[in-house]
Structure formats: structure tokens, C-alpha cells
Amino acid sequence: MIRLSTLIKVTLVGLVCNTAQAKAIVLGTLHYPPYVICDNNSNTVTGLDVNIMRRAFQQMKQPLIIRCLPWKRVLHLTATGAIDGAFPAYYTPQRSSWANFINTPLHYDSYAIATLRGKEFSVHNSQDITGKILVVGHGHFISKSFSAAQESRLITTVEAKNSDQALQILQRGSVDGYLDNVAVIDYTARRLGIAAKISILEQQLEQPKKSLVMLSKNSAQALQIQQLLEQALATMQRNQLIKALTDQYLNIPQLQPIEANAG
């Protein structure tokens, strides 16, 4: 016969476990359509990466809260453990000192140039964009080589505050092209109803970059769910669920790798 004291202890342990499981993981993100779409008017967040994350956490049976914040604040809160993690993020050695990165990418960022239809030009290597005037997103880091070309003035860049403004500048004809993530260009052009006026060049300027989830090393909760999230996303990738969700959101043209400079 089970003693009453034993029954009470078991019940209390069960309550503690359920409470721990029910505590939501808080992840920070930024407005980055079509991957993350933060609507301040309705206080909602949607998008491809958001859908992938929600599906993964549903499989884990783990509550999830996603907060849209300025990216520098997201990084600071993740580093200190004030929030449990962030997405989508690039791996850097500096970030790895305070965050663990999930291996399975949410998506790949592929960069290419968009032009007005009829104004296309050939890009076989990075030298082919020397002398061009390109509009780029504010604060966008493309690559070290591209930044070096900017600093040496081999390429002239005009900054736009977002993809809407970048396409408006392109339509005015004052620049040769718009350099950005291909999915961002395509999504924004279709949303604005100008996709027929825009041509995305077939050559990607850099190798695709993995966009990942990072979890704070200073959050006990993040450390507890890291392996579960790793397994959930890996399973979704293996079962083609990430691809299926991607195909619902994106219509990305097939890109060709850019050639290395001769010599």
C-alpha cells in the first residue's frame, strides 16, 4: 500500500516537472521579410523562419514566445541570457563565445543583383561589377571582399533603409542594380506588384550563408532544450518539411555560382 507521504512527494515532483515544461522559451528576432514579418499594428509575427520555429517547438511540446526587437538589442539580450536565444543569425567566432548554434539552418541567404528588365548585364566574376552603382540595404554585410571593394571605391553603393525603398531607387534608374538576398528581392517585388519589371541576374555573388538559431550559453532553459531543438529541426529537414514550408513562401530562381577572379 502506498503511503500518503510518498504519494504527496510524487505529486509535488510531477507538478514541478510540468511547470518547468510549460515555461516558455523566449527568442528574439528582427523584421526580415519573408523570413520574419513583424506587424506592429496587429502585434503579430509571421514568416518562413517563424513557421519553421513554431512547428519545431510544437513537436517538442515546448511553449515558444517570439519577440521582434532591434537586432543589436537581440544580440545583447541573448549574450546576457535575458532571453533564451535568437534567429535567424550567422555564426561568428565572437558570437560563439556566448551562444550555441543549432546545426540545421532555417534557410540559406543567397545574394545576387536585380536590375530593371531590359537593363541586365553579365556578371561572371566580381570584376564585372567594378564601376557599377548598386543600392544595398542599410547595415547589410555582404562579404569581406565586397566591403573591401566598397572601401577602395571600386564599387559605388547607395544605402536604402529597407527593400521597399531599394526597389523604388532601382525603378528611378539612378543605379545599375540592387544587391540583396534573392528571396528578399523576389518577395518584395511580388508584394509591391512590380515583379514583371524586375530581373534577378543568375549569378550569385557569394557562397550561400547559413541562417541559424542561436541559444544563449547564459540561459539554463536554452541549455536544457538545445538537444531537443537540434533533433526537431534535423528531423524536419530529413522529412522535407522545411523544404515544403520554404516552397510555400518563396519563389527563388536557380542561381549560378560566380567565377573566381583569374590570377
Note the CATH number of domain 111-207.
3.40.190.10
Distance CA(33)–CA(186), nearest Å, equals 11
Can you give the pLDDT at residue 21?
Answer: 53
Give the right CATH number for 21-107+210-249 from 3.40.50.280, 1.20.150.20, 3.40.190.10, 3.40.30.10. 3.40.190.10
The pLDDT, as a whole number, for residue 27 is 98
> What local confidence, expressed as pLDDT, does residue 252 receive?
57
Residues of the chain with CATH 3.40.190.10: 21-107+210-249, 111-207
Q: Output phi, psi for 142, to 5 deg.
A: -90, -55
pTM (predicted TM-score): 0.81
pLDDT in tens, the chain (263 residues): 445 444 344 444 443 444 345 589 999 999 999 999 999 888 899 999 999 999 999 999 999 999 999 999 999 999 999 999 999 999 999 999 999 999 999 999 989 999 999 999 988 767 788 899 999 987 777 777 788 888 888 889 999 999 999 999 999 999 999 999 999 999 999 999 999 999 999 887 778 899 999 999 999 999 999 999 999 999 999 999 999 999 887 765 554 454 544 33
Residues 134, 131: Cα–Cα separation, whole Å = 10
Cis peptide, bond prior to residue 88, ω within 30 of zero: yes
Contact between 29 and 74 under an 8 Å Cβ cutoff? The reply is: yes
pLDDT of residue 141: 74
Give the model's pLDDT for residue 136.
93
DSSP 157: E
